[in-house]
C-alpha cells in the first residue's frame, strides 16, 4: 500500500514512513492509494474471528510493510480482556429491536480513543525499536486525548510524552487520571491558561523545525492514520454482531468532533461493508452538521466555539474532514488544495450547487445536532427506558439517531465514553452520580505529579531539552 497527500504534493510513502506523522509536507493529510475491497465471501469467512484476529486481517491490508507475524503478535498483545475488560473488546448492547449501543469505552481511560491509541503504543514502540530511533510526543489536551495517549505510551521504550493541559480546567477525574501516573517517561505540564494557549505552545514548538528534529518531537493527534484504521475494525465487528449471514445493511450514528471516528466508518463502507447510513451527530458546535445539510464548510474561530456539556466535541474545525472531501471530489488533489485555500482566504467553501455535493447521498452521510436540553432529556429517557446511563457525547448520538432510524435497518450508536468521566452533567440530569468502575475508586486522592508552567514557549523548550538529552 502506498500513501499520498490529499493535496497531491507528496511522493508515495509506505505505512512505516507515515505512522509517526499524519500531516503531509504540502499541508494535506496522508491517504492510502485505495481502500481494499472486501467481498461478501471474505466477509463471511471473517465473521467468527476474535477481535484481535479481525483487527489483524484488516490492518495488514494497510500496514503491509510490517511482517505478518509481527503485526499479528502486536495486535494480539493490544486487544486483550485485561486491557479492555471483556473478550469481545467492544461488546454490543441491544436497547430495543434495531437499536444498539456499541460499547467502545472499556479501555484504561474509559473513552473510545483507547481502542486506537493502545494499538498505536505498540506500533510506535515496534517501529522505533526496529529503526533504532526515539520519539518525544508533544501534545495538548482538554481531557480525553491526553489521558488516552499517556496510558498507551506509559513505560514504553524509546518514547516520552510531554502533555500540556490547562491548569485547573479539566474535570477532577480527568486530571487525576493523568497526574497520578508515575512512569518516568510521562511528563504532565499544567499551563497557566486555557486549552488554546496549550495548543498554541505545541504549534510554536512544532514550527521550530530545527528544535523539532534535534529533539525528535512528534504528535499523536487525531489525524494520525494508524488511529483511523484501528477504528475501522469495530465497524466490522459491530456489523457481525447484528447480522446473521446475508449482506444486510445497518446504519451507524457517531458523535463527532474532529471527524476521526466517523471517517473510519466511511472507510469501512468504501471497503464494502454493507453500511446504509452514517449519521454524523454534533453538539452545539455544528460545523459538520452544517456541511452535510447545506454543502457549506465553515470552520469556526476559537472565539466562536461554544463550551458545552459534551466538551470533547467542542471543536472549531474538523481535522480529518479533508480526507472525506478528497473522496468526495474524486481524489483530485488540486481541487482539495483549492478548497482549503478558500477556507484560508475566505473562511469557508461552498459546494452547494456542485455536482460533487449532489452525490453526497451516495456516501451515506446524513447529520444532525444536539443541545444541552436534548442531552439532558436523552440521558434521562435512556435511563428510564433501558436502565442505561450514557455519557453526554453518547447521548448526543442517541438523540440525533432517532431522526434517522428506518424500519428493519439496525441502527448502531457508538458509545464514545463512560459517564464516570462526566459526573457533573449526569448529576444534573439524573439527580445522582454515575457508577464508576471499581479500579477508579478514590483516584482523586492518589498522589499527583505534574509541573506548573506559564504559557511561555521558551520555558517549554528548555523543559523538554533538559529531559531528552
Ligand atoms: C474525541 C471524542 C469525540 C469525538 O471524536 P472524533 O473522532 O474527534 O470525531 C466524541 N466523544 C468523546 C467522548 C471523545 O473523547
Give the domain CATH number at 39.
3.40.50.1100
Q: Is residue 104 part of a domain?
A: yes
| 76 shares its domain with 213 | yes
Is 222 near ligand 1, meaning CB less than 6 Å away?
yes
At CA 314, angle to CA 328 and CA 104, rounded to 5?
75
Q: How far is the CA of 112 from the centre of ligand 1 (A)?
A: 8
The CB of 258 under 6 Å from ligand 1? The reply is: yes
- 64 and 80 part of one domain: yes
**Cβ of 368 below 6 Å from ligand 1:** no
| Distance of alpha carbon 29 from alpha carbon 322, whole angstroms | 7
Let me know whether 204 and 78 are in one domain: yes
CA of 152 to the centre of ligand 1 (A): 17
In a domain, 435, yes or no: no
Whether residue 200 lies inside any domain: the answer is yes
| Pocket residue to mutate for ligand 1, from 143, 254, 257, most atoms within 8 A of Cβ | 257
Number of domains in the chain: 2
Q: Are residues 40 and 131 in the same domain?
A: yes
- Cβ 143 under 6 angstroms from ligand 1: no
Q: Does 441 fall in a domain?
A: no
Contact (Cβ atoms closer than 8 angstroms) between residue 22 and residue 225: yes
User: What gap in Å lies between CA 59 and CA 75, rounded to an integer?
Assistant: 9
Residues 34, 124 within the same domain: yes
Question: What spacing in Å lies between the alpha carbon of 280 and ligand 1's midpoint?
Answer: 12
Q: Which sign does the torsion angle of CA 275, 149, 368, 322 carry? A: negative
Question: Atom 2 (ligand 1): residue with closest C-alpha?
Answer: 312
Do residues 309 and 187 share a domain? no
Q: What's CA 15's distance to the chain center, in Å?
A: 19
User: In this structure, are 166 and 288 located in the same domain?
Assistant: no
User: Does residue 436 form part of some domain?
Assistant: no
pLDDT of residue 13: 95
Give the position, in ligand 1's atom list, of the atom nearest the Cα of 148. 15
Q: Would you say residue 438 lies in a domain?
A: no
Is 284 near ligand 1, meaning CB less than 6 Å away?
no
**CA of 465 relative to ligand 1 center, distance in Å:** 32
Domain that holds residue 252: 92-110+227-430
Domain check: are 159 and 267 in the same one?
no
Q: What is the pLDDT along the chain (469 residues), one digit of tens a residue?
A: 999 999 999 999 999 999 987 788 898 999 999 999 999 999 999 999 999 999 999 999 999 999 999 999 999 999 999 999 999 999 999 999 999 999 999 999 999 999 999 999 999 999 999 999 999 999 998 878 899 999 999 999 999 999 999 998 888 888 999 999 999 999 999 999 888 889 889 989 988 989 998 999 988 888 899 999 999 999 999 999 999 987 899 999 999 999 999 999 999 999 999 999 999 999 999 999 999 999 999 998 878 888 899 988 988 888 899 999 999 999 999 999 999 999 999 999 999 999 999 999 899 999 999 999 999 999 999 999 999 999 999 999 999 999 999 999 999 999 999 999 999 999 999 999 999 888 888 899 999 999 999 999 999 999 999 999 7
Cell of 345: 482566504
Whether residues 263 and 388 fall in one domain: yes
Do residues 211 and 231 share a domain?
no
Residue 250: inside a domain: yes
With respect to residue 439, please indicate whether it lies within any of the assigned structural domains. Answer: no
Q: Are residues 104 and 180 in the same domain?
A: no
pLDDT at 220: 84
- Judge if 365 and 333 occupy the same domain: yes
What the block records as the C-alpha cell of 282 is 454534533
**Gap from CA of 214 to ligand 1 centroid (Å):** 32
With a CB cutoff of 8 Å and minimum separation 6, the contacts of 399 are 281, 368, 370, 374, 375, 378
Q: Is the pTM of this model over 0.85?
A: yes
- Mutate which of 115, 144, 278, 316 for ligand 1 pocket (most atoms within 8 A of beta carbon): 144
Could you tell me if the CB of 257 is within 6 A of ligand 1?
A: yes
Specify the residue for cell string 479539566: 170
In the prediction, which pLDDT does 301 show?
Answer: 83
Closest ligand 1 atom to Cα of 260: 7
Amino acid at each position: 500500500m502506498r500513501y499520498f497527500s490529499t493535496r497531491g504534493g507528496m511522493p508515495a510513502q509506505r505505512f512505516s514512513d507515515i505512522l509517526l506523522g499524519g500531516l503531509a509536507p504540502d499541508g494535506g493529510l496522508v491517504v492510502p492509494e485505495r481502500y481494499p475491497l472486501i467481498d461478501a465471501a471474505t466477509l463471511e469467512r471473517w465473521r467468527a474471528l476474535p477481535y484481535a484476529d479481525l483487527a489483524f486481517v484488516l490492518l495488514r491490508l494497510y500496514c503491509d510493510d510490517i511482517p505478518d507475524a509481527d503485526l499479528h503478535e502486536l495486535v494480539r498483545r493490544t486487544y486483550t480482556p485485561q486491557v479492555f475488560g471483556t473478550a469481545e473488546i467492544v461488546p454490543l448492547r441491544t436497547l430495543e429491536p434495531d437499536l444498539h449501543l456499541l460499547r467502545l469505552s472499556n479501555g484504561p481511560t474509559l473513552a473510545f480513543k483507547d481502542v486506537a491509541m493502545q494499538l498505536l503504543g505498540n506500533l510506535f514502540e515496534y517501529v522505533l525499536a526496529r529503526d533504532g530511533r526515539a520519539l518525544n510526543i508533544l501534545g495538548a489536551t482538554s481531557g480525553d486525548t491526553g489521558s488516552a495517549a499517556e496510558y498507551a505510551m506509559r513505560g514504553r521504550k524509546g518514547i516520552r510524552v510531554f502533555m500540556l493541559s490547562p491548569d485547573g480546567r479539566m474535570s477532577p477525574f480527568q486530571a487525576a487520571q493523568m497526574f497520578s501516573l508515575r512512569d518516568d517517561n510521562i511528563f504532565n505540564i499544567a499551563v497557566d491558561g486555557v486549552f488554546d494557549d496549550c495548543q498554541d505552545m505545541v504549534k510554536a514548538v512544532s514550527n521550530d523545525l530545527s528544535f523539532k528534529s534535534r529533539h525528535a518531537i512528534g504528535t499523536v493527534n487525531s489525524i494520525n492514520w494508524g488511529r483511523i484504521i484501528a477504528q475501522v475494525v469495530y465497524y466490522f465487528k459491530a456489523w457481525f454482531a447484528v447480522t446473521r449471514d446475508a449482506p444486510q445493511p445497518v446504519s451507524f450514528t457517531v458523535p463527532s468532533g474532529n471527524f476521526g471516528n466517523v471517517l473510519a466508518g466511511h472507510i469501512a463502507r468504501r471497503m464494502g461493508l454493507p453500511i446504509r447510513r452514517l449519521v454524523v451527530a454534533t453538539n452545539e458546535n455544528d460545523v459538520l452538521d452544517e456541511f452535510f445539510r447545506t454543502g457549506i464548510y465553515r470552520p469556526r474561530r476559537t472565539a466562536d466555539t461554544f463550551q458545552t456539556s459534551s466538551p470533547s466535541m467542542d471543536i472549531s474545525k474538523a481535522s480529518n474532514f479533508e480526507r472525506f472531501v478528497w473522496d468526495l471530489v474524486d481524489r483530485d488533489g488540486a481541487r482539495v488544495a483549492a478548497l482549503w485555500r478558500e477556507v484560508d482566504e475566505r473562511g469557508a467553501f461552498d459546494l452547494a450547487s456542485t455536482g460533487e455535493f449532489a452525490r453526497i447521498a451516495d456516501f451515506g452521510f446524513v447529520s444532525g445536532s444536539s443541545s444541552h436540553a436534548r442531552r439532558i432529556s436523552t440521558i434521562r429517557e435512556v435511563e428510564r427506558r433501558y436502565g442505561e446511563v450514557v455519557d453526554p457525547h453518547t447521548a448526543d448520538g442517541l438523540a440525533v439517531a432517532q431522526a434517522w432510524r428506518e424500519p428493519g435497518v439496525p441502527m448502531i450508536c457508538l458509545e464514545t465514553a463512560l459517564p464516570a468521566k462526566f459526573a457533573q452533567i449526569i448529576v444534573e440530569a439524573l439527580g445522582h452520580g454515575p457508577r464508576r468502575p471499581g479500579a477508579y475508586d478514590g483516584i482523586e486522592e492518589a498522589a499527583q505529579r505534574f509541573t506548573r508552567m506559564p504559557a511561555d514557549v521558551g520555558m517549554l523548550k528548555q523543559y523538554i531539552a533538559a529531559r531528552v538529552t
